[in-house]
Amino acid sequence: MPAHSDSLASRLRSFKCMHSGCKKVCRNARGLKQHENAIHPNLSSDESDNEAQAKKPVKEYHPFLNGVPVDAEGLPRPPQARPPIWKELDPSNPWTPFADRLGFEFCHHHYADAQSSAANINKGLDFWVAAKIQALGSAECDGLDAEWNSAKEMYEMIDKIQHGVSPFRTVKVRYAGPLPENPPSWMTQEYELCYRDSRQVLYTQLATADFASDFDPAPYRQYQGNGERIWSNLMSGEWAWRQADIIARTDRRTRGAMFVPCVCGLDKTTVSVHTGQQEYHPFYISAGNLSNVARRGHGNGVVPVAFLPIPKVPEGERKKKEYKRFARQLYHACIQLIFEPLRPGMTEPEVVRCPDGHLRRAIWGIGPVIADYPEQVWLSCIVQGWCPKCMARPENLDDPNAGRRTHELTDALVEAKAPGILWDEYGIRDDVVPFTHSFPRADIHELMAPDLLHQVIKGTFKDHLVEWIMEYLKLEHGEARSLEIIADIDRRISTVPIFPGLRRFADGRNFAQWTGDDSKALMKVYLAAIAGHVPDEMVQCLSVFLDICYIFRRNAITITAIEKAQQLLTKFHELREVFITTGTRSHTSLPRQHALSHFIPSIIDFGSPNGLCSSITESRHISAVKEPWRRSNRFNALSQMLVTIVRLDKINALHRLLSLQGYLEGTVSYGMARSFVASDLDERGGQLVVGDLEGVELDGEDEEDEGEVTSEAMLNEVTPVSGPRLASSVKLCATPARGYPRRLAELADQIRQPQLIDSFLEYLFEARYPDREPPPDIAKQMQYTGKVYVYHSAIARYYAPSDACGAGGMQRQTIRCNPKWRGKPRHDTVFVAESDEPGMRGLLVAQVLLLFSFVDPDTRKEHSCALVNWFNRSDDRPDPVTGMWVVEREESGGMRPLQVVNLSSIVRGAHLLPVYGSGMLPPWISFTNSLEAFQQYFVNPYIDHHAHELLSE
């Protein structure tokens, strides 16, 4: 061994976060310290609140299909038995088929992370060889080589990995009906279905140990500490419970088994508009036992299992009845073939391995289907414009007396009615049978999942309400004047004060390509922007809809929230009539908007819609379709994409196993040095000690951020926090800011706030003597000679169950108080607790002008404080039009009174929207000065889910 081994290992230190579940590796000790302060704070016992102390939710599991652990023969194991030990890695070389960590990490980085081209991989291999030559010298470079000679050899190594899901196979299908004399091309053409074994995909997914904490082996009913029912994951819904009842009642031998519903999602996607509209139709599946968090997260919570064929025919042929019938039959036949491997296990249990390591007997079932409305029309075999879940007619979709669609009802109608009557009177196509028709316990009309993205966010909000408001303005004011008003609405949106996590619309809402995230961001600020420009009834209609939307988007929905959503939905249906009375619309009977009526029954059946939203499949398109397509040569791209998908599955599966067992600890250089030195010391009987952090200097806070204020900068200030649900807290950042005097009087002069001295002393007096009133001339009665430390930010952590939260529902938010944040002053607004009353009645709103800490020399207690200016409520109830509370900045005698408050009284950040009124916005107002330019402000409840719940009464 080279003599420099020990010194090399001592230099290659691993600054890895040691908190459970966190895989963060930092470059140095300073970075590790900052990471721990930001993401894993030590919350003291006095930072508790009612949420943290509340009783944990109680789960009542299904009495029969309760997922009892079994042995390999399917026999129940003793209670409390530990799961078997699964040795999935080769003990002689866990990196198999790679030689060592360096080879695996090089391959994973270039193929999975950086997605390097073959040319760049070859260049990297050349650098690898050059580094070896430099290290060993020319005398020892005889036969020297990297692990592979080319990118092709590296790909072959990936193919040898034994982990990951099954490969794709291709089946060719074609039209089998009678051919006319001159058949069109679609009748003679062969179509390819590329698919995997869905049974093996679910086997692999269920065996993923990463899902151990996001997995439920049985249907359950969940209750809060106060006994209130709550719906969250799919297994908490009534549908899974009913399915378990049917299975247990049909065959008593299934008792003790685990019901595994197969959630599927399908959605066409276009990878390139400029090269001939290249479309793909991926089909995804996911085990329904996984939590919403696991399904929404990146990884193998949702797996591509097939690519459905897309027939390409001329426009004239596409409209013919024969082609339409064939296309739909092809569609359903392919989906049926994908699910066929699961059919035997739908009645006879199969032993599978679960994320917690136990074996259980699984009963498969077809679960909810994630799809947008056009896809739902094809899946449910109905006529366009009708509802896939109920029999309501297109001209009156919200008919409360419309019955539910079922396979049995459809079969009876097809048997009794002529095809024309089925089409016109019932919206049924008789030329195709849904794929669920032949599978046990499956009804496509029942299984259609609610779609937050296309039915609520992009559908009802963006495509309907926003567009209708624009149409009303044109109808009411004419083309020229309406364009001026619309431009002013865009100006209002662009001048909204910045806030952590808020996407800033620099040019308003007027952009060409909308995404789901754009629509969600516009929801947060649109209501205040239109108030004053449109009738109050339209503003009220939008306000009620937003309240419904925010309830539906929660990760956990209580029975109280469901009842409130039902009331709001009724009110929304009444208020939207304003678009008819003003002549903007002739009717509001629209399929995507009608779907809102089915959300509440679907929540009771399937849990929170967050876990069954088409945004999951759309985000999966990036890694499963678009990125593999970009890595192809664009010619016959699908076959190349399938190879890429399988290879990514393999190398990522091996990466998960190695990480789970600790083989990827620290950096690559650290790991290689440790193993290199350890083998040397083993020969000498010594011990290896590396990673000592003594003597490493922890620097102070970084210099102030520079650069333009962008949406990305704002979004980075709100992040999910992994781990369990903890107490809410607000803490100062790790290190104080530089350049501020430490003495109170000098600090007041520098920040130009002479009220700081009296406010500080009043706070200190009340802290020392809580039962006494501060004297009026307090500056003459007491002094403070200690040091004051100024900070530019604080971190708020709070429980915020939403689609952007961490596994435990925790959110982390940065509160800024910086005179030069990215070149501009920024003083955020916050909620301050006033009393125990619910909602806004127990809160105050304040703007933070200074964050600081000091130590009281009398008590030796450290205080974290904020100097604030208050915004007082203008009324004791919300604004009747917008439904938002209105506040106005506190002023007295032309001055703004200031007060020092303890940081523990701050709940979290608050967002204020200007009350713009009915006039046009002056050109000098921007997002940087809008908090100073208006007399009144709305308290924005739509900035995130936590604020909406916090302000709800």
Amino acid at 32: L
Give yes or no for residue 684 having a pLDDT over 60.
Answer: no
What's the mean pLDDT in 361-369? 98
Q: What is the pLDDT of residue 8?
A: 41
CA distances from 704 to 497, 753, 791, 850 (A): 20, 22, 12, 16
Euclidean distance between CA atoms 167 and 164, whole angstroms: 9
Q: What is the pLDDT of residue 48?
A: 37
The residue ranking higher by pLDDT, 826 or 810, is: 826
pLDDT tens across 77-113, in order?
998 899 998 888 998 999 999 999 999 999 999 999 9
The pLDDT confidence band at residue 686, using thresholds 50, 70 and 90, is very low
What are residue 72's phi and psi, to 5 degrees? -65, -20
- Name which of 45-54, 168-177, 397-406, 756-765 the model is least confident about: 45-54
* Nearest Cα to Cα of residue 286 among 273, 297, 298, 295: 295
* Nearest Cα to Cα of residue 665 among 15, 3, 10, 8: 15
What are residue 285's phi and psi, to 5 degrees? -135, 160
- Name which of 36-45, 120-129, 371-380, 793-802 the model is least confident about: 36-45
Euclidean distance between CA atoms 367 and 283, whole angstroms: 14
Name the CA dihedral angle for 676, 677, 679, 682, rounded to a multiple of 10 degrees. Answer: 180
Q: What share of the chain in percent tops pLDDT 90? A: 65
* Nearest Cα to Cα of residue 638 among 111, 117, 168: 168
- How buried is residue 463: exposed, middle or buried, by Cβ count under 10 Å (0-12/13-18/19+)? middle
Sequence-distant (6+) residues with CB within 8 A of 287 are 202, 205, 206, 260, 261, 262, 263
Sequence-distant (6+) residues with CB within 8 A of 470 are 482, 486
Euclidean distance between CA atoms 287 and 272, whole angstroms: 31
What's the mean pLDDT in 621-638? 92
The pLDDT confidence band at residue 142, using thresholds 50, 70 and 90, is low
For the beta carbon of residue 370, count every other beta carbon within 10 angstroms: 29
- Name which of 157-166, 198-207, 691-700 the model is least confident about: 691-700
* Nearest Cα to Cα of residue 44 among 861, 901, 899: 861
Sequence-distant (6+) residues with CB within 8 A of 413 are 422, 426, 428
What's the mean pLDDT in 27-43? 61
Are 365 and 260 in contact by the 8 Å Cβ rule? The answer is yes
Euclidean distance between CA atoms 110 and 619, whole angstroms: 22
Q: For Cα atoms 271, 326, 424, give the angle at the middle one, nearest 5 degrees.
A: 105
**Beta strands of 97-218 (E only): which ranges?**
169-174, 190-195
Q: What is the pLDDT of residue 950?
A: 84
The pLDDT confidence band at residue 717, using thresholds 50, 70 and 90, is low
Give yes or no for residue 693 having a pLDDT over 70.
Answer: no
- Name which of 461-475, 692-706, 720-734, 885-899 the model is least confident about: 692-706
Sign of torsion over alpha carbons 117, 123, 127, 128: positive
Euclidean distance between CA atoms 126 and 136, whole angstroms: 16
- Name which of 300-309, 500-509, 560-569 the model is least confident about: 500-509
The pLDDT confidence band at residue 666, using thresholds 50, 70 and 90, is confident
pLDDT tens across 848-872, in order?
999 999 999 988 999 999 999 999 9
What's the mean pLDDT in 397-412? 94
Euclidean distance between CA atoms 183 and 545, whole angstroms: 52
**Residue-averaged pLDDT of the chain:** 86
* 862 three-class SS: strand
The pLDDT confidence band at residue 670, using thresholds 50, 70 and 90, is confident
pLDDT tens across 428-460, in order?
999 999 999 999 999 999 999 999 999 999 999
Sequence-distant (6+) residues with CB within 8 A of 42 are none
Give yes or no for residue 129 having a pLDDT over 70.
Answer: yes
CB-facing half-sphere around the CA of 409: CA atoms within 13 A: 15
- Name which of 143-147, 370-374, 449-453, 540-544 the model is least confident about: 143-147
The residue ranking higher by pLDDT, 499 or 801, is: 499
Q: What is the pLDDT of residue 951?
A: 85
* 648 three-class SS: helix
For the beta carbon of residue 66, count every other beta carbon within 10 angstroms: 19
Euclidean distance between CA atoms 624 and 652, whole angstroms: 13
Q: For Cα atoms 804, 809, 810, give the angle at the middle one, nearest 5 degrees.
A: 90
For the beta carbon of residue 817, count every other beta carbon within 10 angstroms: 25
Amino acid at 721: V
What are residue 290's phi and psi, to 5 degrees? -75, 150
Q: What is the radius of gyration, based on Cα positions, of the chain? A: 31
pLDDT tens across 756-812, in order?
999 999 999 999 998 888 888 888 888 898 999 999 999 988 776 554 544 456 778
Give yes or no for residue 21 having a pLDDT over 90.
Answer: no
pLDDT tens across 521-532, in order?
899 999 999 999
Which tokens in the block code for residue 492?
């209002």
- Name which of 371-380, 469-478, 814-823 the model is least confident about: 814-823
Are 514 and 458 in contact by the 8 Å Cβ rule? The answer is yes
Euclidean distance between CA atoms 547 and 539, whole angstroms: 13
Sign of torsion over alpha carbons 756, 758, 763, 768: positive
What letter would DSSP give residue 404?
A: B
* 589 three-class SS: coil
Q: What share of the chain in percent tops pLDDT 70? A: 85
Give yes or no for residue 482 having a pLDDT over 90.
Answer: yes
Euclidean distance between CA atoms 37 and 698, whole angstroms: 13
pTM, 2 dp: 0.88
SS3 content of the chain, % helix, strand, coil (to 5): 40, 20, 40
* Nearest Cα to Cα of residue 565 among 586, 547, 542: 547
Euclidean distance between CA atoms 194 and 172, whole angstroms: 9
CA distances from 333 to 192, 198, 435, 437, 639 (A): 12, 15, 7, 11, 22
Which tokens in the block code for residue 496?
């909204």
Euclidean distance between CA atoms 221 and 225, whole angstroms: 13
DSSP letters spanning 448-515: B---IIIIIIIIIIIIIIIHHHHHHHHHHHHHHHHHHHHHHHHHHHHTSPP-TTPPP-TTTT--S---
* 352 three-class SS: strand
What's the mean pLDDT in 235-249? 97
Q: What is the pLDDT of residue 276?
A: 53
For the beta carbon of residue 274, count every other beta carbon within 10 angstroms: 6
What are residue 304's phi and psi, to 5 degrees? -70, 125
Q: What is the pLDDT of residue 145?
A: 66
* 259 three-class SS: strand
Give yes or no for residue 721 having a pLDDT over 80.
Answer: no
Euclidean distance between CA atoms 788 and 605, whole angstroms: 56
Sequence-distant (6+) residues with CB within 8 A of 715 are 501, 503
* Nearest Cα to Cα of residue 43 among 900, 814, 796, 855: 796
What are residue 154's phi and psi, to 5 degrees? -65, -40
Which region, left, alpha or beta, applies to residue 36 given φ > 0 means left and ψ of -120 to 50 means alpha? alpha
* Nearest Cα to Cα of residue 909 among 870, 953, 943: 943
Are 806 and 797 in contact by the 8 Å Cβ rule? The answer is no
pLDDT tens across 581-627, in order?
999 999 999 999 999 999 999 999 999 999 999 999 999 999 999 99
Q: What is the pLDDT of residue 503?
A: 82
Euclidean distance between CA atoms 220 and 42, whole angstroms: 34
Euclidean distance between CA atoms 476 and 479, whole angstroms: 9
Give yes or no for residue 398 having a pLDDT over 70.
Answer: yes
Euclidean distance between CA atoms 209 and 88, whole angstroms: 11
Q: What is the pLDDT of residue 687?
A: 42
Are 729 and 43 in contact by the 8 Å Cβ rule? The answer is yes
